[in-house]
Amino acid sequence: MSHKHAVVIGSGFAGLSAATHLAVNNYQVTILEKNDSPGGRARKFEHQGFVFDMGPSWYWMPDVFEKYFGDFGKSPSDYYDLIRLDPSYAVIYGEQDVLDIPANLDSFKEMLEKIEPGAAVQLDKFLEQAAYKYQVGIHDLVTKPSRSIFEFTSPSLLKDMLRMDIFQSMSKHVRKFFKSDKIIRLMEFPVLFLGETAENIPALYSLMNYADIALGTWYPKKGMHEIIKGMVSLAEEKGVKICYGSEVEEIEIEDGIAKRIRLISGEKISADVVVAGADYHHVDKHLVNPKYSNYSEEYWDKRVMAPSSLLFYLGIDKRLENLRHHNLFFDEPLGPHADAIYTHPRWPEKPLFYASVPSITDRTVAPEGMENMFLLIPLAPDLDDSEEIREKYYNIIMDRLERISGQEIRSHVIFKRSYAHRDFKNDYHAFKGNAYGLANTLTQTAILKPSLKNKKVSNLYYTGQLTVPGPGVPPSLISGKVVANEVIKENN
């Protein structure tokens, strides 16, 4: 039996997943977490009865969570209770112009048919393709380590990939089925989770529409951090040791082998295997000796990053009206240069934004008679942010939120905390202050992503949203398992 010591850097979804999969395969596992609580971007904080999820707020692809916990003989229901949201979310196109997206598929079709006659039939065709992509993509393609082109050269897989529309943009794909601008924007919305606009994302990712429409939008009672809480409980049950407040200063490498982890405290921890779930760029450029870096700084600068975000966590001393749990504000047109909000280093004039009010569904996350609100503006990475510009954008979106929802909100805000680029850098060493990792463009997919294995260090691996399979909570869960399998294969 192997009792090699694996050190995992970071306790986000990918780090916890990798650690637990290694632990059940006879590894002694230690997680080193920089912050004082687990979860990485999925941490939570509390203030006078308000409980805020700091990052992920959407629960999609429930089958991926079932598969994760099922790997250990467990179920999500062993750790948290799920509620299917209905409506799934609201899309706000303007004043008196709101679509509540029903959870029921027939009701969804009826809604589309009223907007564009014939759209229900087109949706069936669209979803038939999307379902196929989901089954192949989520249950086959994303589970590959993507270390060699030969992983993708089997005749059956090549045939599948030809049907997956990987060389067509999501934007063109959607327009083959629908004409209405409202429906097009609705169908293009899910790929924003992948860090780019529909013009730059392969149509393969219509699989996200299948996840949205067919599998539904869910919410774990007490908040998204309950998933992390469950994963930590499971990891510790399997013998994983988690050390909080343990920031790594260097991975000490000798003759191409990672030997020790040195913390900023000076403590050194020996390792047989190192799995970096921290920001890949930070590990590659700051935690290893430059001669062992996987990639040059020029390489990193050419990567297309997923957006960063300006977030506001608000405690409101009254109940709100005319809002849902999830609310997407598409009340301002994107215009001809939509990708500017992601790639151009400037603040947008008329930002899109998202408002989540989880206390509408779950009264435990706010005091009695009050609301918990989370606001998010997607922004290009690498912006200089200040308190002044944060406040400017707070007022821009609050003007729209109050006008469209028909109520005064600002004067009822009794707690406010903002979070943006510099916070992502400080808390997570996030490259260019990104929030979501690497955009899933065609040239940054599969083997074209940063490798999960260091090319110069035999026992150093990477997991998380800057490597395969990509950004998002379900991909991060899968990433941890994929890298654990590679470690087991190569080190046992």
- Residue 336's pLDDT is 45
* CA torsion angle 245 416 89 186 (round to 10): -90
One domain, residues 329 and 421? yes
* Residue 96 belongs to a domain: no
One domain, residues 139 and 207? yes
- Residue 162's pLDDT is 65
Considering 156, 190, 215, which residue would you say is the last residue of a domain? Answer: 215
Paired with 316 in beta bridges are 371, 413
Length of the chain: 492
Considering 373, 404, 428, which residue would you say is the last residue of a domain? Answer: 428
One domain, residues 10 and 57? yes
* Residue 449 belongs to a domain: yes
One domain, residues 335 and 324? yes
One domain, residues 406 and 338? yes
- Residue 157's pLDDT is 65
Mean pLDDT per block of 10 residues along the chain (492 residues) reads 87 98 98 98 98 97 98 98 98 96 98 98 97 90 86 70 81 96 94 80 93 98 98 98 98 98 98 98 98 97 92 98 97 60 74 96 98 95 94 97 98 98 98 93 91 98 96 96 97 84
One domain, residues 320 and 418? yes
One domain, residues 276 and 347? no
* Residue 102 belongs to a domain: no
Q: Is the peptide bond before 469 cis (omega within 30 degrees of 0)?
A: yes
Considering 428, 458, 479, which residue would you say is the last residue of a domain? Answer: 428
* Residue 95 belongs to a domain: no
One domain, residues 11 and 60? yes
- Residue 343's pLDDT is 58
* Residue 274 belongs to a domain: yes
CB count in 10 Å sphere of residue 19: 32
Paired with 310 in beta bridges are 377
Contact indicator for 71, 231 with CB cutoff of 8 Å: no
- Residue 394's pLDDT is 98
- Residue 148's pLDDT is 82
* Residue 144 belongs to a domain: yes
One domain, residues 149 and 249? no
- Residue 492's pLDDT is 79
For residue 52, give the CATH number of its domain. Answer: 3.50.50.60
Domain range spanning residue 151? 108-215
* Residue 100 belongs to a domain: no
- Nearest CA-CA partner of 382 in 307, 299, 473, 467: 307
* Residue 356 belongs to a domain: yes
One domain, residues 369 and 471? no
Distance from C-alpha of 389 to C-alpha of 437, rounded to nearest angstrom: 23
How many structural domains are present in the chain? 3
- Nearest CA-CA partner of 325 in 365, 373, 284, 289: 373
Those residues with Cβ within 8 angstroms of residue 312's Cβ, 6 or more apart along the chain or in another chain: 373, 374, 375, 376, 394, 416, 417, 418, 419
At residue 282, what is the residue type? H
One domain, residues 322 and 399? yes
Distance from C-alpha of 43 to C-alpha of 136, rounded to nearest angstrom: 31
User: Which pair of tokens denotes residue 293?
Assistant: 């870096």
SS (H, E, C) the chain: CCCCEEEEECCCHHHHHHHHHHHCCCCEEEEECCCCCCCHHHCEEEECCEEEECCCCCECCHHHHHHHHHCCCCCHHHCCCEEECCCCEEEEEECCEEEEECCCHHHHHHHHHHHCCCHHHHHHHHHHHHHHHHHHHHHCHHHCCCCCHHHHCCHHHHHHHHCCCCCCEHHHHHHCCCCCHHHHHHHHHHHHHHCCCHHHCEHHHHHHHHHHHHHCCEEECCCCHHHHHHHHHHHHHCCCEEECCCCEEEEEEECCEEEEEEECCCCEEECCEEEECCCHHHHHHHHCCHHHCCCCHHHHHCCCECCEEEEEEEEECCCCCCCCCEEEECCCCCCCCCCHHHHCCCCCCCCCEEEECHHHCCHHHCCCCCEEEEEEEEECCCCCCCHHHHHHHHHHHHHHHHHHHCCCCHHHEEEEEEECHHHHHHHHCCHHHCCCCECCCHHHCHHHCCCCECCCCCCEEECCCCCCCCCCHHHHHHHHHHHHHHHHHHHC
One domain, residues 167 and 269? no
